[in-house]
Structure 1
Amino acid sequence: MESMLGSSRVRVRCLDGKTRMGRIIGKMKKRVWVREGDVVIVVPWEFQDEKADVVWRYTQPQVEWLKRKGYLEGY
């Protein structure tokens, strides 16, 4: 995640090379603390490709595991 924009909005850099404006969904907003630099899963909107919903945040041990297994090559 690149930056927090306020009001549950974030700017995310995706593995496909695009930068999208993400929206933290309500379920995550109430339970998970999302910060700049976190690795998150986003789901692009079907009708606007430049926007997405943030649906999951990885913890640091999970990020290290993903790097070891080769899933985060560009990170």
Structure 2
Amino acid sequence: MAKKFKDKSKKNSKKFQNENSTIRVRIPKGREVIGIITQRCGGSRMFVSCTDGKTRNCRVPGRKRRGLWLREGDVIIIEPWEFDDERGDVLFKYTPTEVSKLREMGLLNITKDEF
């Protein structure tokens, strides 16, 4: 008799969300600002156009460098540096469903299509 193996792949273990389920979205706190990546410069640095109207040169900190994959058009949270307002650190990347939720909440008013 053949043995049945359990499928341990991540694809089959995910539970699909219902349409009515609530989506929790991280909101910027304190000095944090929402921005969209406009240009990648290399060396984990990029130009980000922020919701406060400034364009900042941001970097991905070392602890997030391997786990956070970014490309142009992604919506992110950055924290400007205390001593230089034209630079900042990337803290968080939003998923497409979270971006649509941000638009519903009115926190992201940029009309450019990111995805």
- Normalising by the smaller structure, the TM-score range is over 0.9
Q: Pick the structure with greater CA Rg.
A: 2
Alpha-carbon RMSD: 1.0
- Where structure 2 has 5 or more consecutive residues not aligned to the other structure, the ranges are 1-36
Pick from 27, 31, 35: which aligns with 2:67? 31
Whichever structure has more strand as a proportion of its residues is 1
Whichever structure has more helix as a proportion of its residues is 1
8 Å contact from structure 1 (residues 28, 56) kept in 2 = no
How far apart, in 2, do the equivalents of 1:45 and 1:71 lie? 22
- Where structure 1 has 5 or more consecutive residues not aligned to the other structure, the ranges are none
Please list the CA deviations of residues 18-69 of structure 1 after superposition, one character each: whole Å capped at 9, or x if unmatched. Answer: 1010011122211121111000001000001100001111011110111111
Give the alignment's TM-score, normalised by structure 1.
0.93
Report the number of matched residues: 75
The share of aligned pairs that are identical, in percent, is 44
Matched position secondary structure for 1:33: coil
Runs of 4+ in 1 over 4 A off after TM superposition: none
Give the alignment's TM-score, normalised by structure 2.
0.62
